[in-house]
Structure 1
Amino acid sequence: MTERFASLMERKLPMLDRLAVITARDQYVRKVLIPMFSDEALDSEVRTAFQSGAGGYIYQVDTLNTAELKLILQEYSWADIIEGEPQLFTQVFHVVQHSPDEAFRAEVLAEIGPYAERGEIDGQEYALMYDRVELAAGRQQLYGSQLECLNGQFDVHDLKDPEGVDARRASMGMQPLQDYLEQGRALYGPC
């Protein structure tokens, strides 16, 4: 067992170093900037201006991360990323989910589908990406994971079969839609 681990680690270390930078950058901008512009004490004009500026910066980071991840994926497969540590997929998933490259997200969704079916990756992550890809293609989302500013608050939009959404969410290990909406509204504040 130790020998297998050592072999896996040695094979993955070059990839892990590169992925660590990308995933840290992805999460850092979100963990620092989003709480700053979600502060309810901010004047609404200040919040709007801050959100706009922060959005531009986050877009630049996401574009850079996408380019770097594509280079890594020329050398390593999703199986390499998932093998031995599915939590690494979770970290890399966020980079793909935040990518402004819609075609890249759709390509990755198709590649990771079999891993989701076998339970090798988190169902919620697959559902989040599925909804984002569907909306980008002009179709409706299935799981209600993508929110939009409607009437001053974040809400679900373009949802296929709203009556069945909580059952679909439960099948993917997700909380009920109403709980998700309340958490999202608390995190992002008014819009």
Structure 2
Amino acid sequence: MPRKSFLVFTAAIFVALPSSLPAQSTARAATAETQSSANWESAIKARRQQLIQQNGQGTDTTLRSQLLAMRDKDQAVRGFSSGRSASGMTPDMLAKLPSTDAELTLELKQIVDQKGWPTISLVGIEASNAAMLILTHTADHAWQAKLLPQLEQLADARRIDASMLALVIDKELVSEGKLQRYGTQFKFVNGEMAMYGVEDPGGLDQLRARALLPPMKVYKETLAQIYHLKAGNAIVSATSPARN
């Protein structure tokens, strides 16, 4: 049976508190968690606006439309529409997934060959992130690895969204059988989602905050809402690729 991984993007959701907390502690904890949630959400929104202000809305409207259509195709085959789960993954959708990803990978390769990586200044932030989404889902890990140094430079220069790049970095590390960095990759195990091991478990939330990703508790609840499966505390190891 093929390995099944789960990826989502940041989303704002309410974080429920344990019912066993005393009333006063619950109120204080609720205030703290609400503030924490507001902090990272505000940080993401502020950084997004800064990227737009720095890079503009994009100059290539034709390419922007192409990338957004590619994003919609990528999401439709995964049961998503307008960023929301529209349906579960049916057998027919699962069957189409490899060919759809391969088709979109080829299309993105052609774009990169002709125009370079789609930066925010070229196509706008939505379409630039759409290109990163396609790269995240590609099965061509050698191409992913080849692009990473360039993409990290673009992220450092604030020409692309660094939080989107975190997904690609984790996907590539897991594909190589290594520990992931940001905790974005999960595997279906015994009816639940289990996280692939990370490089720095103790500092994971701090690292995610620097990348403007939500706290792991929020991320897991997002996964559970989207996939209707529990995101448990189990940790699994990535499998090293077979060597000839």
TM-score computed with the length of structure 1 as normaliser: 0.78
The CA distance in 2 between the partners of 1:34 and 1:86, in whole Å, is 22
Show structure 2 runs of 5+ residues with no match: 1-55, 231-244
Q: Please give the secondary structure, in 1, of the residue aligned with 2:187.
A: strand
SS at match of 1:140: coil
> Of the two structures, which has the highest relative contact order with CA contacts closer than 8 Å and spacing of 6 or more?
2
**CA positional deviation for 1:82:** 2.9
How many residues align? The count is 170
Alignment counterpart, residue 26 of structure 1, candidates 69, 74, 87: 74
Whether the 8 Å contact between 1:140 and 1:160 is mirrored in structure 2 is yes
Distance 1:119 1:81, change over 3 A: closer
1:165 aligned residue: 204
- Which runs of structure 2 are paired with 1:96-175 in the superposition (5 Å)? 96-175=135-214
Alignment map for 1:46-125 (pairs within 5 Å): 50=90, 52-78=91-117, 81-84=119-122, 85-125=124-164
Structure ranking higher in strand proportion? 2
Tell me, yes or no, if the aligned pair for 2:163 and 2:211 is still in contact at 8 Å.
yes
Q: CA deviation at 1:88?
A: 2.0
RMSD: 2.4
The structural deviation recorded for 1:34 is 5.5
Counterpart contact for 1:86–1:120, Cα < 8 Å: no
Residue in structure 1 matched with residue 215 of structure 2 by the alignment: 176
- What CA deviation, in whole Å up to 9, does each residue of 1:45-98 have, x standing for no partner? xxxxx3x542221221111010111112111012x5432523321111111111
More helix by share: 1
Identity %: 24
> For 1:154, what is the secondary structure of its paired residue?
strand
Runs of 4+ in structure 1 over 6 Å off: none
Does structure 1 conserve the Cα–Cα contact (< 8 Å) formed by 2:68 and 2:126?
A: no
Determine if contact 2:205/2:215 at 8 Å carries over to the other structure.
yes
